[in-house]
Amino acid sequence: MIVADGGTDAGVMRLMGQAREEVQNSFPLVGVSPVGLVRLPDVETSSTELTDLESHHTHFFLVSGDEWGDESPCSDRD
């Protein structure tokens, strides 16, 4: 089983990461987010607009984009 969500340190994604850690489960927890909206570890920035990644996720898949929704394109957005 693999669980995927937005990967940010907010809301349900934060709760999912904390729950995985709490039960000491080994399933992969993958966060999918636009790279232009998240604060990357070990990358210094002065931006206060970036969102932290949730630390208990095991993997992150960062896609091109700087808007929420870029990680899940829909045909009706263009």
Q: Dihedral sign for Cα 61, 63, 41, 50, please.
A: negative
pLDDT grade for 8, boundaries at 50, 70 and 90: very high
pLDDT digits (tens, 9 = 90+) for 23-51: 988 899 999 999 999 999 888 888 889 99
Residue identified by tokens 């829909």 is 74
How crowded is residue 40: how many other Cβ atoms within 10 Å of its Cβ? 13
Give CA torsion, residues 43, 45, 49, 53, to 10 deg.
20
Q: What is the mean pLDDT of the chain?
A: 90
How crowded is residue 39: how many other Cβ atoms within 10 Å of its Cβ? 16
Q: Measuring CA to CA, which residue among 26, 22, 32 is closest to residue 61?
A: 32
pLDDT grade for 75, boundaries at 50, 70 and 90: low
Q: Which token pair is 50?
A: 């970036």
Kindly state the average pLDDT of the residues 60-69: 94
